[in-house]
Amino acid sequence: MREGAFERIALVGRPAAGKSEVIDYLKKTDREERIRRFHIGDFVEIDDFPFIWERFQDDDILSRLGMERMFTDAKYYFKDERIWDFFIRKIDARVLEIERLDPGFFQRTTGILEFARGGERAFRNAFEQLSDGVLRRLGVVYIEVSYEESCRKNRRRARPGLEGSILHHSLPDDKMDYYYRTNDWYELAPDREGFFTIRDIPVPYAVLPNEPEVTDRPEALGPALENTLSALWKLRSR
């Protein structure tokens, strides 16, 4: 942990929970204020959505070439559920590659690892895919919304023609139901803040409530995010 700012944060939640809105808010906040209020200075995003979108594109290209789709069926359901582990390991590999090329990078820059998951062991399984070195310097922010609110916001953010956009990608209702109706976050992390354990490594976490919604109003998001990240900072500093 570098002085005054996190090295790495995992920003997680259901689809459309508000993760991208938090990132957008941080981008628009002055650097000195970000450090003072949120313990984040310069930062880099590592989001698994571009990896997911690339697999859709890859399969469409293969299909147009008359080849078998590799990752998804014709309705873009993944053929093998282990693909979700693949995406987290892609995030992990990106972090490790940045460190290999510049060992001091995360002493100067916060890495924000962003992903959504659903299922009975979804979040636990996701964090189990991260390497020990990444986990040991990680703090987790979970943006809390119900499944129903996730669906509402997922529909709201959809923009035709922008399906590959970080801010405006959206899932059809049937995929929301199939992939994200259940969620194991509260089994993994039952309190508002604390630690969960992966391979004997304690990982600090804090929850940002977003229902009623705060991520659509900067004047509400700022204080809520400050409270959450301040709580996480105290845990990370132990």
Domains of the chain from N-terminus onward: 8-236 (3.40.50)
pTM: 0.93
- Give the torsion through C-alpha atoms of 206, 198, 72, 176, to 10 deg: -30
Spatial CA neighbour of 88 closest among 58, 40, 121: 121
Write down the pLDDT at residue 203.
98
Tell me how far apart the alpha carbons of residues 115 and 180 are, in angstroms, rounded to a whole number. 12
Write down the pLDDT at residue 163.
62
Q: Which residue in the block uniquely carries the two structure tokens 């209702």? A: 173
Write down the pLDDT at residue 165.
52
* DSSP-H helix ranges across the chain: 19-27, 31-33, 49-64, 83-101, 105-108, 122-128, 132-135, 147-157, 173-180, 185-188, 218-236
Tell me how far apart the alpha carbons of residues 11 and 26 are, in angstroms, rounded to a whole number. 13
User: Residue 201: how many CA atoms within 13 Å on its side-chain side?
Assistant: 18
Write down the pLDDT at residue 179.
93
Ranges of residues in the chain with a pLDDT under 70 are 1-3, 158, 161-168
Write down the pLDDT at residue 172.
87
For residue 18, what are the CA distances in angstroms to 97, 112, 214? 28, 14, 9
Write down the pLDDT at residue 171.
84
Write down the pLDDT at residue 167.
56
Write down the pLDDT at residue 119.
85
Write down the pLDDT at residue 195.
98
Tell me how far apart the alpha carbons of residues 170 and 152 are, in angstroms, rounded to a whole number. 11
164 CA to centre of own chain: 16
